[in-house]
Amino acid sequence: MSQAYPGQADWHPSFIIIGAVKAATTWALEQLQVNPALYMPDPEPHYFSSEFDRGEDYYRAYFEAQVGSGRMLGEKSADYLAHPDAPQRIANMLPHARLVVQFRNPVERAYSDYKMLYRRGTVKEGPEAYLASLDNPQPRFLNDGLYAQHMRRWLDHFPTDQIHAFLYDDVKAQPKATVEAISHHIGVDPVFDIGQSRKKANNASERFLPLPVRKVLAPLKSTIAPLRGHPLFESTRGFFAREIAYPPLSPQLRLRLRDFYAEDVEQLGKLLGRDLSAWLRDEPRDAQNSRGEREHSKVA
- What digits encode the pLDDT tens for the residues 233-252? 556 655 555 678 899 999 99
CB atoms within 10 A of CB 251: 9
Assess whether pLDDT exceeds 70 at residue 264: yes
Per-residue pLDDT band for 224 (boundaries 50, 70, 90) equals: low
Contact 131, 142 (CB under 8 A): yes
Q: Is residue 136 a part of any domain in this protein?
A: no
pLDDT for residue 193 = 86
pLDDT at residue 273 tops 70: yes
Q: Which long-range contacts does 286-292 make (Cβ < 8 Å, 24+ apart)?
A: 288/105, 288/169, 289/169, 289/172, 289/173, 290/173
Q: Give residue 245's pLDDT.
A: 85
Q: Does a structural domain hold residue 158?
A: yes
Report cis status (omega within 30 of 0) of the bond before 165. no
List CB contacts of 87: < 8 A, sequence separation 6 or more: 153, 154, 156, 157, 158
Q: What is the pTM of this model?
A: 0.82
Per-residue H/E/C for 71-120: CEEEEECCCCCCCCCHHHHHHHHCCCCEEEEEECCHHHHHHHHHHHHHHC
* The total number of structural domains that make up the chain: 1
Q: Name the 3-class secondary structure at 13.
A: coil
Query: In this structure, are residues 173 and 289 in contact, taking their beta carbons and an 8 Å threshold?
Result: yes
Tens of pLDDT, residue by residue over 46-92, are 999 999 999 999 999 999 999 999 999 999 999 999 999 999 999 99
- Residue 81, in any domain of the structure: yes
By CB atoms closer than 10 A (0-12, 13-18, 19+), residue 99 is: buried
Q: Return the pLDDT at 281.
A: 87
Q: Cβ distance 163 to 170 under 8 Å?
A: no
Per-residue pLDDT band for 212 (boundaries 50, 70, 90) equals low
Closest among 289, 248, 219 to 128, alpha carbons compared: 248
Would you say residue 296 has pLDDT above 60?
no
290: nearest Cα among 273, 300, 278, 281? 278
Q: How confident is the model at residue 160 (pLDDT cuts 50, 70, 90)?
A: very high
Bridge partners of 168? none
Which of 97, 98, 145 has the alpha carbon at shortest distance from 257?
A: 145
Q: Per-residue pLDDT tens for 86-145? A: 999 999 999 999 999 999 999 999 999 999 999 989 999 999 999 999 999 999 999 999
pLDDT-derived band of residue 5, with 50, 70 and 90 as boundaries? confident
Of residues 36 and 1, the one with the higher pLDDT is 36
Residue 23 in any domain: the answer is yes
| Radius of gyration of the CA atoms of the chain, in A | 19
Domain that holds residue 172: 15-106+143-204+260-298
CATH number of the domain within which 37 lies: 3.40.50.300
The pLDDT confidence band at residue 218, using thresholds 50, 70 and 90, is: low
Q: Quickly count: other Cβ atoms within 10 Å of residue 124's Cβ.
A: 9
Q: Could you tell me if 32 and 38 are in contact, meaning their C-beta atoms sit under 8 angstroms apart? A: yes
- Banded pLDDT at 148 (limits 50, 70, 90): very high
Instruction: Tell me if 179 is assigned to some domain.
Output: yes
Position 183 scores a pLDDT of: 98
Nearest to 146 by CA among 266, 53, 42, 37: 266
Mean pLDDT of the chain: 86
Instruction: Judge whether 161 lies within some domain.
Output: yes
pLDDT for residue 215? 54
The pLDDT-based confidence of 222 (bands split at 50, 70, 90) is low
Are residues 257 and 265 in contact, defined by beta-carbon separation less than 8 angstroms?
Answer: no
